[in-house]
Structure 1
Amino acid sequence: MKITVMGASGLIGTRLVEKLRQAGMEVVGASPSLGVDSVTEEGLRGAINGAEVVIDVTNTTSFGDDSALGFFKASTRNLLAAAADAGVSHYLALSVVGTPRLVESDYFRAKMVQENLIRAARRPYTILHSTQFFEFINGVIEMSAKGDEFQLPSALVQPIAADNVAAILAELAMAAPRNDTVEIGGPERFGLDEIARVQLAADEDRREVIRDDRARYYGVELNDDTLLPLKGSRLGSLRYGDWLYRSMAN
């Protein structure tokens, strides 16, 4: 089976390509750094030609303005058109748990548009909703910085290791399209303020975390279940503490 991974140079993409190749798949890794751009269409048709599955793990570099919308509109439309012309039989895309509940945010509104374009294309598809990655917790913390402290709500999160996300994507790629959304999360739940304290302690960062339930996440006020996967969702196997230990050892 030939599989094209769009966004192959990113956090998830690099892991995904490796896992698919280990499973014996023929994999084309595609990203701007590899000469394939889903927005300008440079190299796009060649990368997708002959593929049975396209996995879209592309992402924008901007999270705080409307440029994310432009990226996901152009990228997704171009990918879907190229996939249709190539006769791709499964379009698999990575998105975010809670996206429909976070559309006040420019970024998540753009992700919702991406998902709607995929559904409207009337091609066999699967959308994987993942919770926040362990690897991005530091970024979430830094976005909440107010001077020498961090202000975060106690809303619950259920983060997951990037390796677990890549493994589930690889599994879905080698299976039949669901024509639906699958949700995944990590094995544990934390308050956002709580996990920030754990991460900062591991980093030996003495700045204080202040609980503020009015503090916003990507510009959105949260309740306790906004960022949680649905009941019965798939769970990753790696616990946050074990991941932190491994990260500090490397």
Structure 2
Amino acid sequence: MKITVVGASGLIGTRLSEILRRSGHEVTAASFSFGVDTVSGRGLEAAIAGTDMVVDVTNAASFGDSAALDFFKTSTKNLLSAAADAGVGHYLALSVVGTPLLVESDYFRAKMVQENLIRASSRPYTILRSTQFYEFISGLIDIGAQGDVFRLPPAPMRPVAAGDVAAFLAELTVAPPLGGIVEIGGPEQFGVDEIARIYLAANEDERPVITDPSTSYFGVELTDDALLPGAGARMATEKLSEWLNQSMAS
């Protein structure tokens, strides 16, 4: 199968491309660093020409203001148009668990627009929503940084290894389009504040974490289940402690 991975130089894209190539698929790597700009359209037609399916794992460079919305709206429209012109049979995109509940945030409102554009298109599609990656825990913690302490909410979440997300995407790539949304989360549930304490301790960072339910999550006050995948979600296998041990060793 010929597959175009858009966002191929990113955290998920690099892992997914490697998995697909090892499985014998022909992979076209499309990203800004490979000469493809999904916003301007530069290189897009050539990257998608003759491909059987497109996997969209692009991400906005900025989470705030209108930058994320501008990116996802323009990029997704361009990708869907190019996919239609090329007769692509399956459009697979990566999104975020909780998106519909977090649209007060600029970023999640932009992700909702992306999802809606895909659903409204004529392309057979699958959308995978993932929980927060272990690899982005440091950025998650930083939302609560106040001087020498962190103030973070106890809202529960199930973080996941990027490798497990890429592996599930690879499965979905070779499966028929679902015409709907599936989700993936990690095997363990933690409060956001609890994850921060574990991560900081593993990095020998003694700064304290204060539990504060009023701390916003990228501009949104969290409800109890906003960051949790729904019933029927794929549960990944790599535990946080296993990922931390590997990341510390490397």
TM-score band, normalised by the shorter chain?
over 0.9
Q: Distance in 1 between matches of 2:157 and 2:55?
A: 26
Instruction: Verify: 1:109 aligned to 2:109, yes or no.
Output: yes
TM-score, length-scaled by structure 1: 0.99
Q: CA deviation at 1:122?
A: 2.4
Give the secondary-structure state (helix, strand or coil) at the position aligned to 1:220: coil
Partner residue, 1:31: 31
Partner residue, 2:163: 163
Q: Distance in 2 between matches of 1:234 and 1:84?
A: 30
* Structure 1 segments of 4+ aligned residues over 3 angstroms from their partners: none
Partner residue, 2:70: 70
Give the secondary-structure state (helix, strand or coil) at the position aligned to 2:141: helix
Q: Distance in 2 between matches of 1:232 and 1:95?
A: 17
Partner residue, 2:129: 129
Q: Distance in 1 between matches of 2:23 and 2:172?
A: 13
CA RMSD of aligned residues (A): 0.6
Give the secondary-structure state (helix, strand or coil) at the position aligned to 1:16: helix
Identity, % of aligned positions? 65
Partner residue, 1:150: 150
Matches within 5 A, 1:75-94: 75-94=75-94
Partner residue, 2:239: 239
Q: Distance in 1 between matches of 2:231 and 2:38?
A: 34
Amino acid in the other structure paired with 1:230: G
Q: Distance in 1 between matches of 2:48 and 2:151?
A: 44
Q: CA deviation at 1:65?
A: 1.5
Q: Distance in 1 between matches of 2:126 and 2:171?
A: 12
Q: Distance in 2 between matches of 1:66 and 1:207?
A: 33
Q: Distance in 2 between matches of 1:123 and 1:56?
A: 13
Q: Distance in 1 between matches of 2:224 and 2:242?
A: 25
Question: Any gaps of 5 or more consecutive residues in structure 2?
Answer: none
1:22-69 Cα offsets, whole Å, 9 max, x none, are 111000000000101100111000000001110000001101221100
Q: CA deviation at 1:191?
A: 0.4
Q: Distance in 1 between matches of 2:59 and 2:167?
A: 19
Q: Distance in 2 between matches of 1:235 and 1:121?
A: 29
Partner residue, 1:229: 229
Q: Distance in 1 between matches of 2:221 and 2:154?
A: 11
Amino acid in the other structure paired with 1:41: G
Q: Distance in 1 between matches of 2:65 and 2:195?
A: 26
1:76-98 Cα offsets, whole Å, 9 max, x none, are 00000000000000000000000
Question: Any gaps of 5 or more consecutive residues in structure 1?
Answer: none
Q: CA deviation at 1:142?
A: 1.1
1:186-240 Cα offsets, whole Å, 9 max, x none, are 0000000001000000111111100000111011001221100001210111000
Instruction: Verify: 1:60 aligned to 2:60, yes or no.
Output: yes
Give the secondary-structure state (helix, strand or coil) at the position aligned to 1:216: coil
Partner residue, 2:178: 178
Partner residue, 1:43: 43
Partner residue, 2:97: 97
